[in-house]
Chains A and B, each alone.
Chain A
Amino acid sequence: MSSSTTHTSTIGAIGAPSRRNTELALLVFAVVIPLFAYMNVGLAISGELPPGMLGYGLGLGLLAGVAHLVVRKFAPYADPLLLPLATLLNGLGLVVIWRLDQSEKLQQRPTFSEAAPNQLLYSAVGIALFVGVLLLLKDHRVLQRYTYISMVLAIVLLLLPLVPGLGMNVFGAKIWIRIGGFSIQPGEFAKIVIAVFFAGYLMVKRDALALASRRFMGLYLPRGRDLGPILVVWAMSILILVFETDLGTSLLFFGMFVVMLYVATERTSWIVFGLLMSAVGAVGVASFEPHVQVRVDAWLDPFSKAVIAETGTDQIAQSLMAFGSGGVLGSGLGQGHSDLIGFAANSDFILATYGEELGLAGIMAVLLIYGLIVERGVRTALAARDPFGKLLAVGLSGAFAIQVFVVAGGVMGLIPLTGMTMPFIAYGGSSVIANWALIGILLRISDTARRPAPSPAPNPDAEMTQVVRP
């Protein structure tokens, strides 16, 4: 038996292909598809190819190329799907944001400014951060050292929108801050930082949380004092809901914690507790917080004149009508009227434009791409060899999944609307930058997971005895 065939993990056999060429091939598609979409929009709106076609194509191609080369060099065994999928979404997002820039109706709005150039800049910054993560973070386990610093940072980020003079109230939700000329959504960054904190914390405490319990009606009930952490996070989420009045952010953090707690302890009881607590919290807050009530009313009856008067906007009705008008195949890029949504058409409500112009077929494809990103993330968690990596990967993927569900569900009228945005496709710097960092971390974890184990040091005893011939 040759020592070169032994390995210590179930995955990442030595000699496993790095799949970098697969990634490159997929990336070509991820750049070419948005380019065609861009062309399509130009032809539909003005009958000619958009003037920025070459620059845009080169820009996106360059960004994707740089990202790919960095992955090839610094994370050669990373998951081959995540980068192309994120690039595709980001590219499509740029096209649709540019398409909405061309809408005369939106141009007439007093706050209008061209969003696509900014978004291209944010994407570049996002990919730079992605590259930075891969260059600087050689091993994700380093993050474990910053568990409690992360906690402090997360709390600061979450509290920032409440600081007077810094926070902005956008249609009731206080999840924005303004620094210089930029508006930032700290919650997007907090998502990552808080995942690091939860992963570090749970890795240490998971045995206590998992083992010390009593059995009651088939469920393992945790001891009272072990309930502490979940109660604290629950309280934090409730506070976010009450003070920032944003159901999405609140749901995101609580959901992420419950997912990670469940994975860490393998106890179903935590899920039951989590569901109960979030139900109690949401119903409780909705019963006295008028802004949340308004959102619930608008969700229950989006077309009622009274509700529209109460909320001051018919965005949800407009969004639903955009989806309905798209039908199965959509109106074609550049040929819909999703600009009727008005405010936030290119950010919170951008999915409605996909719905109208690409139809049911397009939305299903986009949702499946999101699903694929999430499942590759969970796959990374499965493959990871260390508990911290597992927890971090599942935390980030879970948060991503919840965010997609909460935003898309809100825009499609499945759940009450919240103030978050679709990762990668919606206009907004914070979101794009933070999500590129998230993909970077997932790639790092998957690279570590799939990297072949270093071959064991040569054992002199195992060497063939030299026969000394006289």
Chain B
Amino acid sequence: MNKPLRRIAIFCGLLVLALLIRDNWLQYVQADNLAEHEMNRRVPIERYAQPRGDIIVDGKAITGSQKVDGDDFKYKRTYKNGPMWSPVTGFASQRIGATQIESIEDRILTGNDDRLFFRRSLDMLTGKKKEGGNVVTTLNADAQKAAYNGLKGRGKGAVAAIDPSTGAILALASTPSYDPSSFAGNTNKEAETFGKLDKDSDKPMLNRALRETYPPGSTFKVVTAAAAMEHGLYTDIDDKTKSPLPWTMPDTTTPLKNEGNIPCKNATLREALRVSCNTVFGKIGSDLGKDKMLETAEKFGFNEEQFVPVRSNASVFPKEMDRPQTALSSIGQFETAATPLQMAMVTSAIANDGTLMEPYMVKELQAPNLDVIEKHSPKEMSEPLSKENAQKLQDMMQTVVNEGTGTAAKIPGVTVGGKTGTAQHGLNNSKNPYAWFISYAKTDSGSPVAVAVVVEDSDASRDDISGGGLAAPIAKDVMKAVLDSKK
């Protein structure tokens, strides 16, 4: 009986071997996938096991952590002035999950990042508790406050402000907003709060500065002007353009209308931008054709998602359109749509003498002991227009502020250029129009800020809504806040 016994011994060995192989597969080959599986509750448990690292603005934390009892999540996130900062931070909720910076930089904030591995191992040996690192943002607290307070009084809207020379985002506000502290924990009450916010028809959870695209209206005319000069259609901003009035769009019998009775017949580029002539810029777009318009728009960043590192929706300049549609698109109508960030990028490229810098809002990642782990260095994204043309366009935009539709944005002693926009939307333009304003401020040492403001659905009557009246004062406050903080 010994021969079969020996074989049985081998068989039993094989059973154990099969288990060993399976275990190696699970705990070595598949280990990381399983450890970070979306269903693995250890990930959130870990995330909230120690105070989370902070998100920092101007050297001060805008977040915090608070100990909670009776749950496997030990600490919950708190926010200082949550509604104002939520478009920057996103939220980290024990029940719902994390978004935006809280999600993207999660590994740093929890202290799990690989770059912290050595430190973590040391801490383990010395018995120190794990700590999270910090995320230092580029934002400017005063500018953010000016943007948020300005919007709050005006209903729904958004502001994006950029430092044109680096691409650093200085303000990113959206109203109505929400307080991420209100559902940071894991209770049913907090889940309900989130549910209500999520279903609210005013969409308080929407980050309008990055994730909502609006028809840019007349503010898009600066892109069309840039295209006209870049493609050599007009070179001198004070020469008369070939612009008949009334102007019938090609292939149609429909005349393109101006807002009111403004002097647009053969107006110079400077004059056309100052009074915001639809006919002049519509004809420029039509004359250039869709390909050249598309080329310039895409150099400014249209039709592409931006990651700052939070994702921003792609702004749209239509790729397929006929000639009248091209004319309409060139004055910011038809399917053209832009995020506030996109329009701030357009303004910043002009203010930065034609160079568009990549927008970003995370300046540094810090280890728990404040050592810098990663530092963002400004990167050039594209050059939508030449320095010469950019300065011509600046000249035109300064005229708009000094003696055109944007006088509300004037700041004494500072050069300001801007452009208003009033975008109609809804069936037969029945809804309240969006009021836009884009502008930059310039000092002797270059331009420290470019800003885009959009105000939607204001309670004010239709006639009162115009970029100059509603949006420009907010833009002015933001620019002033940045200028003051530089002093």
Give the residues from 382 to 427 in chain A that come closer than 8 angstroms, CB to CB, to chain B. 382, 387, 390-391, 394, 397-398, 401-402, 404-405, 408-409, 412-414
Task: Give every chain A residue within 8 A of B32 (Cβ-Cβ).
Answer: 324
The one of A105, A326, A374 in contact with B16, judged by C-beta atoms closer than 8 angstroms, is A374
Task: Give every chain A residue within 8 A of B19 (Cβ-Cβ).
Answer: 367, 404-405, 408-409, 412, 414
On A, residues with C-beta under 8 Å from B are: 104-105, 259, 262-264, 266, 303, 314, 317, 320-321, 323-328, 337, 340, 355, 359-360, 363-364, 367-368, 370-371, 374-375, 378-379, 381-382, 387, 390-391, 394, 397-398, 401-402, 404-405, 408-409, 412-414
B16 nearest CB across to chain A (Å): 4
Asked if A328 contacts B31 (CB within 8 A), the reply is yes
Interchain CA distance A375-B32 in the complex, whole Å? 34
Asked if B15 contacts A360 (CB within 8 A), the reply is no
Asked if A378 contacts B5 (CB within 8 A), the reply is yes
Task: Give every chain A residue within 8 A of B12 (Cβ-Cβ).
Answer: 371, 374-375, 378, 397-398, 401
Interchain CA distance A340-B42 in the complex, whole Å? 9
- Which stretch in B20-28, B288-296, B337-345 binds the other chain? B20-28
Interchain CA distance A360-B20 in the complex, whole Å? 9
How many A-B pairs have beta carbons closer than 8 Å: the answer is 133
B40 at the interface (CB under 8 A from A): yes
Asked if A104 contacts B5 (CB within 8 A), the reply is no
Report the nearest B residue to A337, measured CB to CB. Answer: B42
Asked if A359 contacts B27 (CB within 8 A), the reply is yes
Task: Give every chain A residue within 8 A of B252 (Cβ-Cβ).
Answer: none
Task: Give every chain B residue within 8 A of A266 (Cβ-Cβ).
Answer: 1, 3-4
User: Which 4 residue pairs across A and B have the least CB separation, nearest first?
Assistant: A324-B34, A360-B27, A371-B16, A401-B12
Report the nearest B residue to A408, measured CB to CB. Answer: B19
Task: Give every chain A residue within 8 A of B431 (Cβ-Cβ).
Answer: none
Q: Contacts A328-B28, A360-B23, A412-B22 known; A321 to B8 CB distance under 8 Å?
A: no
B72 at the interface (CB under 8 A from A): yes
A284 nearest CB across to chain B (Å): 24
Give the residues from 368 to 393 in chain B that come closer than 8 angstroms, CB to CB, to chain A. none
B311 at the interface (CB under 8 A from A): no
Asked if A321 contacts B39 (CB within 8 A), the reply is yes
The one of B9, B18, B23, B27 in contact with A375, judged by C-beta atoms closer than 8 angstroms, is B9
The one of A323, A337, A397, A398 in contact with B27, judged by C-beta atoms closer than 8 angstroms, is A323
Interchain CA distance A323-B28 in the complex, whole Å? 10
Give the residues from 51 to 74 in chain B that come closer than 8 angstroms, CB to CB, to chain A. 72
Asked if A370 contacts B31 (CB within 8 A), the reply is no
The one of B5, B31, B37, B41 in contact with A327, judged by C-beta atoms closer than 8 angstroms, is B31
Interchain CA distance A265-B12 in the complex, whole Å? 19
B30 at the interface (CB under 8 A from A): yes
Task: Give every chain A residue within 8 A of B2 (Cβ-Cβ).
Answer: 382
What are 20 A-B pairs with beta-carbon distances under 8 A? A105-B72, A264-B1, A317-B39, A323-B26, A324-B40, A326-B27, A327-B27, A327-B31, A328-B28, A328-B31, A337-B41, A355-B23, A360-B24, A382-B9, A405-B16, A405-B19, A409-B22, A413-B26, A414-B19, A414-B22
Asked if B41 contacts A401 (CB within 8 A), the reply is no
Q: Contacts A320-B26, A325-B40, A367-B23 known; A394 to B35 CB distance under 8 Å?
A: no
B352 nearest CB across to chain A (Å): 48
Asked if B9 contacts A412 (CB within 8 A), the reply is no
Asked if A364 contacts B5 (CB within 8 A), the reply is no
Task: Give every chain A residue within 8 A of B485 (Cβ-Cβ).
Answer: none
